Structure 1
C-alpha cells in the first residue's frame, strides 16, 4: 500500500508540473452550450477500472464505484469511491447538472476537504476554481476514441492549463454514459504522455 501511495504521489506531482499553458483553440459557444455535460458523468451504480502509467513503464490499477448520497440539506449528490484492492484511497463528492460537473468534497489520507472545482462545463472556457487557478477549455467534440475498455463515440476533449505556465497542458477525454476515459499530458515540445486510461466499465 505504501508503495502504491508513493507511486500515486509521484504521478500527482507530475500532473501539477505538466498542467501548463499553450495556445489552444476552443469550440464555439453554440457548440459548447449544446453539450449536456451531465451525460459525461458516470451513472450511479457503475464500476470503472483505470490503468495509471508512469515514465518508467510501471502501472497501477484502481477501481471506482459511483454511488448516490443525500447531504445534510436533503439534496442528492453523487460520489465516487476509489479503491486500490480492498483499501479505500479516496471519496469524491460531486454536484452534477446539465451545465457543469462540480467536485465539492474530497476524503482521502490527507483529510477531509471542501472544494468547488468545476471539472466540466458547457462553455468554451471557464475558471476551474482549483488551487492552481487552472482554466478549463472544451477543445473538441464528437471524437471517436479507443482505450482498453473499448471504443467510444461522441467523446469530448477538455484541456486544462495554468495561466502563465508554458511547460505543457493536461487533456482529459470524456465519453457519454461513462465519464473520463483517458488523460494525456502534452508537453510544449509536442511530446504526449498517456497518464491514465479506462480499463473497464460496467453497471
Structure 2
C-alpha cells in the first residue's frame, strides 16, 4: 500500500473535516440511481451565530461525492464519500490518490468531533460504533469569535471569524473560520451552514497547501474496482474485475454476495450458489478475514474434491483481496467447514494463493 510523506499525511488527516445533509439512508442492495451534479443554491448568505447550532455546519447526507481541489501538494486534491450514517454519527471516506482514510464524526448542538479514524482503509466496513477515547473537536459552541478548545496533540483551536468571506470553485460564502495553532504550522478551516467544510489552508511556514470545495454530486455513492475469482473446468482460477458500488448504509456482505453470484453466472462458474448467503463478513483484530456462509454453499456445490478445493481457493482469494489480507477463516453456519471431501480443523484458516490463476 502506498505511503506518503509527512506533510502529505497531515494533509490527509485534515481532509477528514467533512461536508455531508438529511436523514440517514436506509440499507439497500441495488444502487442504480444516476449521479446528479449540483451547484450551490444560496451562495454568500449572512448568518446569525446565536440562531444556529454547531451541527448545522456539519449536515449529514448520504450518496454524495465531494471533490476538493488542491494547491501546493499533489495529495491536497481529494474525493470524499459517505459510508454510513447512524444517528448522530457519520463515517466518511477520503481518497487523495495516495491513500484512503475513514473517520467517524459525531455531531450535536454543542460540538462536532472526530471520535475514531483509520488510515489506509481500502475496504468498506462499518466502524460507526468505534471510539478511540481521544476525540478531536472540529467545532465547538458557542459559534462566536474567540471560542477556544484544545486538541489531543496539545494544539489550540480558536474560532477566529464568523462572517468571513471565502471563495472556492463551488461558490462564495460567509463562513466560520477556525484556526488551529499546531506545532508544525497553522491550519485554517472554513465551515458554512448547510454546506459544511468548504476550504482548508495549511501553512507550515514555507509553501502553503490548500484544499477547496470544487463540486458536490448527489446520487453518487462510493465505488471501487474489485477482483473476484472463479474456477473453470480445468480447476484453474480466473480473475474477474468488476466495479462495485456501495450506497450509504448498504450492507457490504450483501453487495459482495450479489455481485459474486452475478460474476459466477456470467462466467458459468457459480462459486456461490443461488441460495447461498454470506451470513457474516469482517476483518478481525487478529488481521484475519472471517467469512461465514450458509449451508447451501456446501449442499448445493456438487463438485469433486479437486474442484471443491478450487472453489474454496476462489472464495479465499476474493475476500482476502478485498481486505488486503492473506488469511481467511471460512465457516458454514458458524461451524467448522466440512464436506464429503474436505474437513477443516477448528482453527485452520485458508491462505490466499495466486499460483493457479490464469488470465481470462
TM over 0.5, shorter chain: yes
Q: Aligned to 2:194, what secondary structure does the other structure show?
A: coil
1:64 aligns with 2:85: no
Taking structure 1 as reference, are residues 137 and 84 closer, same or farther at Cα in structure 2, changes over 3 Å only? closer
1:173 aligns with 2:190: yes
1:150 aligns with 2:198: no
Equivalent of 2:92, from 56, 73, 80?
A: 80
1:48 aligns with 2:60: no
Name the CA distance, whole Å, in 2 between partners of 1:137 and 1:91: 25
Equivalent of 1:160, from 180, 199, 204?
A: 180
Name the CA distance, whole Å, in 1 between partners of 2:12 and 2:80: 20
When the two structures are superposed, what TM-score results if normalisation uses the length of structure 2? 0.41
Provide the aligned length of Structure 1 versus Structure 2: 171
Structure number with larger C-alpha Rg: 2
Counterpart of 1:193 in structure 2 is: 208
Counterpart of 1:37 in structure 2 is: 54
Taking structure 1 as reference, are residues 126 and 34 closer, same or farther at Cα in structure 2, changes over 3 Å only? farther
Taking structure 1 as reference, are residues 35 and 139 closer, same or farther at Cα in structure 2, changes over 3 Å only? farther
Q: Which has the higher contact order (CA 8 A, sep 6+)?
A: 1
Which runs of 5 or more structure 1 residues have no equivalent in the other structure? Answer: 17-30
CA contact (8 A) 2:92 2:102 kept: yes
Aligned-pair RMSD on alpha carbons?
Answer: 3.3
